[in-house]
Amino acid sequence: MGDLDACNRALDEAEKVHALDGAHSHNGGWLRFDGSRLAEERGACYLQLGRPDLAEEALTAALAQPLSLRRRAAVLSDLAVLGSHRRDIDQVVHYAEQALGLADRSNSGFIGKKLDGLRGRLAPLMSDDRISTLDHRIAALPRTA
C-alpha cells in the first residue's frame, strides 16, 4: 500500500518465527511458515515500495541462502529490476542473464513471467545492444502462472 513503516512492522513481526522452538513452529495444518523466504520477500517488498537502497541488502542476503531454482530466478530478476532503477546496465545484464540461464535449465513459465516484469523497465536502456538482446531473449521465454 506504499507504507514503508507498515511494511517494516509486518516483516519484523514475521521474523519472530525464527525465535519459535520446534514444538511451536508447526500448527499441524497445511501452514508451515518457517521464515526461510523472508529475505527475498523483504527485498521484493522494498523494491515494490521504490526503495532499491533497502532492497539490495535483503535480496543479496536471499541469494546467500539455499533456494530452489524458481526462487533463485525470482531473486535474480528482482536484482535486475534494481539495476534498471539505477540505470546500471551492467547490473541488469548480469542478473538477468543468470535468471535466463535458470529459465533455460528449467523450462519454467514462472521464470519467464517474472522476467517479463523486467521488460517494462528496460525501455530507457534500450539504446544499449545488450539490453535490446536481453529484451528479445526474455520475450521468447514461455509464460505460465
Q: pLDDT tens for residues 93-114?
A: 999 999 999 998 887 788 989 9
Q: How confident is the model at residue 41 (pLDDT cuts 50, 70, 90)?
A: confident
Q: Which of 49, 128, 50 is nearest to 96 (CA)?
A: 128
How high does pLDDT run on average in the chain?
84
59-74 confidence digits (pLDDT tens) = 999 999 999 999 999 9
How far is residue 34 from each of residues 12, 68, 73, 127, measured CA to CA in Å? 14, 15, 21, 44
pTM summary value = 0.80
Residue 1 confidence (pLDDT) above 70: no
Q: How many residues does the chain have?
A: 145
What residues contact 56, with CB distance under 8 A and at least 6 apart? 43, 79, 82
Amino acid at 93: V
- Label residue 9 by pLDDT band (50, 70, 90): confident
Show the DSSP H helices in the chain as ranges.
Answer: 4-15, 22-25, 38-48, 52-63, 69-86, 89-106, 109-119, 129-139
Cell 523483504 identifies what position? 42
DSSP string, 70-87: HHHHHHHHHHHHHHHHHT
CA–CA distances in Å: residue 46 to residues 25, 28, 96, 134: 26, 32, 19, 25
